[in-house]
Amino acid sequence: MAQLLHFRATTASIKEKLRCTYDRILMTPGLFETARLTEYNVRLVAKHFFPRDHSQTKQPSNTRNPSLFPVTQCLLLRASPPCHGATSRSILAILAPYPDFTQFSGALASTGIAAEIDDHTSITVLAVDNAVMEQLQEPRLQHDDLRRAMSLQVLLEYFDDSNLQHLQGGFMQVASLYQAAVNITVLRGGHLAFAQSGGHSAAPPAVIYQRSVVESPYDIAVLQVSALISYPAAGFTHLLSKNGCGGFAGVVAATPDAAATYGRDAGAGLTVFCPDDNAVAAFMPTFNNLTGDGQTALLLYHGVAAHYCEQSLKRVNGAVRTLATDGSKSYNLTIHADGDTVKLSATAQSAAKVTKAAVDKAPLAVYLIDAVLFPGELSNVV
């Protein structure tokens, strides 16, 4: 059944794209000769999808073929609906009846992603509600950052609820409008999740499929998901700043590799242990003496690629791998609960305790801590 669904989706997508290409050729002056030269290829493809319509395949001649229009039109337009495009449907109009998606719709419009969606067929839009989008309400957010986040929410294949529920092998990788791959994974319990391919997180992706909003078979589907696949770095640091982590947020923002990693993993499940402003100020002389790689590693040491709510954090009682871990070094952080107090330790000389839960809404948790954590792996780079 899954193979049949995938075949039908692929077949419909190819028919649609062939039909749209033909329409554009007819409407564009000077492309008739190009159309004539491609008729042979069109006939070959049509043999697979319109078996009763194709005639004997011949190589194109060097003279203009006056029968091109009726022959190709018969091949591409027979028993087919009108070509979808910018003038036939609008993602903004599709989302208009749904008040929970007004901010998402606004972001699509302001970044120009809406126009690109309207120009594509066989596409899936992963929409998030206003509560998720409110985390991006930052005046200093760069246009390119927001555009990247929105484009990752658009998949260049059609998936409706039925397609997802019958995902062959429980996994699929698909291109996004940003041209970065997105992984679709079936989790335990049958839940479906999305994550950017190549992300840092080793934990299960936390962008969870919630419901189908709109389905126009093999043209466009709008699905609601729980979070953005990638969180804009500027929006992430602003979120830290407004929750008592201004000093740490400023240092992260000034360290491009750290900012990019935090921004990317925020949508895939992330816990951040954020030193308060006094702790950051006291540590800055030491921080400035680190190499560039050392600074990045220290900042990433304060993040764990999984969402830990307060109760789950207290149950860890052991070592967790931080975002600073790479192929050659394991930057582990020890978490231990002492009653209602959660304590963190990097080495015997570097420890901190959690003083406040600043943010705790999946897929992101931010905890304020009273000291900067200094991993032992950096002791030789100060």
pLDDT of amino acid 160? 95
Nearest to 241 by CA among 228, 232, 251: 251
pLDDT of amino acid 10? 47
pLDDT of amino acid 137? 65
Distance, in Å, from the CA atom of 382 to the CA atom of 330, rounded to the nearest integer, reads: 18
pLDDT of amino acid 206? 62
Crossing angle between the packed helical segments 256-265 and 292-300, to the nearest 10 degrees: 20
**CB-hemisphere CA count at 13 Å for 255?**
23
Segments of the chain scoring below 50 in pLDDT? 1-13, 15, 19, 21-87, 139, 200-204
Tens digit of pLDDT for each residue in 219-236?
A: 999 999 988 887 766 667
**CB-hemisphere CA count at 13 Å for 236?**
32
Q: C-alpha distances in angstroms, 224 versus 49, 125, 153, 371?
A: 33, 8, 10, 39
Structure tokens at 297: 């590693």
Structure tokens at 272: 């951040």
Q: C-alpha distances in angstroms, 102 versus 130, 221, 279?
A: 7, 17, 40
Residue type, 222: V
pLDDT of amino acid 376? 86
Torsion angle of the four alpha carbons 263, 269, 273, 274, in this order, in degrees rounded to the nearest 10? 30
Strands 303-304 and 318-321: unpaired
Check: CB of residue 127 under 8 Å from CB of residue 153: yes
Classify the C-alpha dihedral 185-236-127-210 as positive or negative. Answer: positive
Q: Does the reported pTM lie above 0.75?
A: no
